[in-house]
Homo-oligomer: A and B are copies of this chain.
């Protein structure tokens, strides 16, 4: 995993400092965390003020994409490119220890650094607007009402090549100090999972139109991270 060809470079910006033994920089680990989520938080700076904006992201190789309205406050800053940080986090469990200090959470997080730019090349933008649907719902765009010119204009697509990235993972039991193990407090892990519920069909769907089999990936009870990992692989294939 220290193979430079398969890892992101490490600098002061992305080096994991706290609990550095949890840090990883290889593409496979970083991408797996990104691909298992739909929601990310993008951080950028306007007039010295940082923003952490939640949004949907999708990935093609080392490129991350997200989109917004053309009325977004970011837009006027994007033409020249702006430094950004896109972070994806999964909360996997609550870790209760015998001391307050050793309480923790299990999680998977990836922080990606790069320069966010406006995607205004018409072909790249058109591909991205298919990607944002088909990456999550395999093959879905082909069966939808086609996008209009006005809709394309109303949508800002933003791209960022990942220059540096780090992943940080905690996936284990309680990390109490040895001398605390006999302390009479319950300790353990309370797992947390994000799962799919029962699909609610739009009441205005014409009679006889049923949910396509391609959406079985999102069957009730499926873990969201699993469904999103599967759909990313289908999108790449």
A9 CB-CB contact with B under 8 Å: no
Copies of this chain: 2
Residues of chain B within 8 A (CB-CB) of A141 are 100
CB-defined interface of A74-90 with B at 8 Å, one 1/0 digit per residue?
00000000011111010
| Beta-carbon contact of B215 and A186 below 8 Å | yes
Of A24-32, A58-66, A143-151, the stretch lying at the interface with chain B is: A143-151
Residue of B nearest to A183 (CB): B145
Distance in angstroms between the alpha carbons of A218 and B190 in the assembled complex: 8
Residues of chain B within 8 A (CB-CB) of A165 are none
| Beta-carbon contact of A205 and B188 below 8 Å | yes
| CB neighbors of B among A4-53 (8 A) | 12-13, 17-19, 38-39, 41-45, 48-53
CB-defined interface of A128-161 with B at 8 Å, one 1/0 digit per residue?
0110110011001101111110010011000000
Cβ of A24 to closest chain B Cβ, rounded Å:
15
A189 CB-CB contact with B under 8 Å: yes
Q: How large is the interface on A (under 10, 10 to 19, 20 to 34, 35 or more residues)?
A: 35 or more
| Beta-carbon contact of A91 and B38 below 8 Å | yes
Q: Which one, B83, B103, B107, B195, contacts A195 given CB within 8 A?
A: B195
Q: Which one, B52, B87, B94, B147, contacts A101 given CB within 8 A?
A: B147
Residue of B nearest to A100 (CB): B133
Distance in angstroms between the alpha carbons of A17 and B73 in the assembled complex: 8
| Beta-carbon contact of B202 and A173 below 8 Å | yes
| Beta-carbon contact of A101 and B188 below 8 Å | no
CB-defined interface of A168-201 with B at 8 Å, one 1/0 digit per residue?
0000011010001111111111111111111111
| Beta-carbon contact of B186 and A99 below 8 Å | no
Distance in angstroms between the alpha carbons of A215 and B186 in the assembled complex: 10
Known: A41-B41, A193-B194. 18 other contacts (CB 8 A): A17-B73, A18-B72, A38-B105, A49-B83, A53-B87, A96-B137, A96-B140, A98-B145, A103-B132, A145-B183, A145-B185, A181-B204, A184-B209, A186-B215, A188-B200, A191-B200, A192-B195, A193-B195
Q: Could you list some 10 contacts between A and B, CB below 8 A?
A: A41-B89, A51-B85, A53-B111, A99-B145, A100-B147, A101-B147, A187-B204, A191-B196, A192-B224, A193-B195
